[in-house]
């Protein structure tokens, strides 16, 4: 079987995206999904996304990590599938779609996609780090000399260590640049390596840095290895966060066919 696919990237976080409105894609074979994401034996990507029909909103997003397993929410993936839906003519400039963590709104203008994330009511603060869920679980830790930091090995040790060893967590290492700007490097579970960018990760970093008093800004710039993203948010009267938007570029890289 020949499979038509599209490759998208959002600040270097790259995805295979497939129009699965006909439901022909075999979602039961995680080994084949992992093979498609393999950078030597397949197409190569941080994850694979299916666009499917939905009975009430514009479409459904189904996301798989590079290991072939269906995963929690992917922010940059949500921005990329919004751009893909516009390319297909499924949407115009605004949309509401369903992902694994519920409904999301998104807007796309001139290659910039704004994706509304779920509200965050709880951020756990520890001596060395903060922990929160922005659609995916995230450990946020301030470090020195981020440029030379061993993200792969240090992230792996935390990801598989207590208390995350059962389900794992994404691990974000952060360095403050200015009052409202932070540099971020992320180790992603499911990819099991550093990625150039992580949408739910930068969302977690922006909220965590506000929570611990490193910034008072409600629009925060995040510099990832793959480019710059912005997070805008409001603070609720109970100290949680709402009206959270992940903002940045998303682009089609190429399209092709692969034997499936």
- The residue annotated as part of the active site, out of 37, 74, 80, 212, is 74
The conformational region for residue 206 under phi > 0 = left, psi -120 to 50 = alpha, else beta, is alpha
Q: Is 65 helix (H, G, I), strand (E, B) or coil?
A: strand
Exactly one of 37, 80, 198, 212 is catalytic; which is it?
Answer: 198
- Is 74 among the residues known to form the active site? yes
HEC string of 133-183 equals ECCCEEEEEECCCHHHCCHHHHHHHHHHCCCCCCCCCEEEEEEEEECCEEE
- Tokens at 156, concatenated: 């792996």
Kindly list the distances between the CA atom of residue 118 and the CA atoms of 37, 62, 121, 200, in Å, as whole numbers in the listed order.
27, 17, 10, 10
Q: Is 198 a catalytic residue?
A: yes
Q: Which residues are catalytic?
A: 74, 198
């Amino acid at each position: 079987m020949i499979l038509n696919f599209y490759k998208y990237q959002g600040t270097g976080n790259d995805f295979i995206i497939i129009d699965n409105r006909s439901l022909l894609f075999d979602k039961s074979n995680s080994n084949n999904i992992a093979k498609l994401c393999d950078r030597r034996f397949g197409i190569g990507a941080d994850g694979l996304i299916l666009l499917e029909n939905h009975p009430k909103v514009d479409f459904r997003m189904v996301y798989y990590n590079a290991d072939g397993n269906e995963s929690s929410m992917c922010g940059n993936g949500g921005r990329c599938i919004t751009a893909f839906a516009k390319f297909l003519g499924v949407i115009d400039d605004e949309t509401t779609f369903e992902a694994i963590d519920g409904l999301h709104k998104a807007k796309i203008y001139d290659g910039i996609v704004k994706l509304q994330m779920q509200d965050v009511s709880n951020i756990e603060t520890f001596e060395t780090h903060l922990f929160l869920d922005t659609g995916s679980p995230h450990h946020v830790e301030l470090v020195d000399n981020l440029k030379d930091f061993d993200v792969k090995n240090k992230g792996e040790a935390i990801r598989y260590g207590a208390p995350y060893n059962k389900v794992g967590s994404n691990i974000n290492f952060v360095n403050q640049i200015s009052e409202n700007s932070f540099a971020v490097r992320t180790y992603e579970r499911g990819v099991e390596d550093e990625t150039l960018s992580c949408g739910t990760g930068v969302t977690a970093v922006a909220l965590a840095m506000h929570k611990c008093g490193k910034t008072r800004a409600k629009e925060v710039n995040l510099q990832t290895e793959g480019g710059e993203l912005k997070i805008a948010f409001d603070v609720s009267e109970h100290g949680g966060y709402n009206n959270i938007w992940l903002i940045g570029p998303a682009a089609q890289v190429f399209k092709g066919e692969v034997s499936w």
